[in-house]
Amino acid sequence: FISHVGQVEPCGYFEKAAGNIKEQTFKEVWESSPLFADLRDYDKLKGKCGICEFRRTCGGCRARAYEVTGDYLAEEPYCIYEPRAMRQSAASRCGHGSPKHILGGKK
């Protein structure tokens, strides 16, 4: 997103400047901004977004994460999906080998 004053932001709802096209080209902002570098690196995502098997497809809404937590790499605060790794971890803590057991399936 490029604002009316040239500020380059990840999206219209994520009001954190990555640079300004009056000072740099868009390509320079995209390639050199630490903000955009962080957003391209899915391994930096925290919480359940960081372990989610869909993080490269979804990535969560970084604007909502930033608004709610102050950290744009924090987990998506309104996501109801529970990543596979969390389900498997919960099943192993309960002493069951399969998360299906927790959901009413056979062991």
Only one residue has tokens 């996501």, namely 79
The model's confidence at residue 86, banded by pLDDT at 50, 70 and 90, is confident
What local confidence, expressed as pLDDT, does residue 87 receive?
79
Distance CA 30, CA 33 (A): 6
Tell me the pLDDT tens digit for each residue of 33-80.
999 999 999 999 999 999 999 999 999 999 999 999 999 999 999 999
Q: What percent of the chain has pLDDT over 90?
A: 78
Domain boundaries, the chain: 1-40
Give the residue-averaged pLDDT of 3-24.
Answer: 96
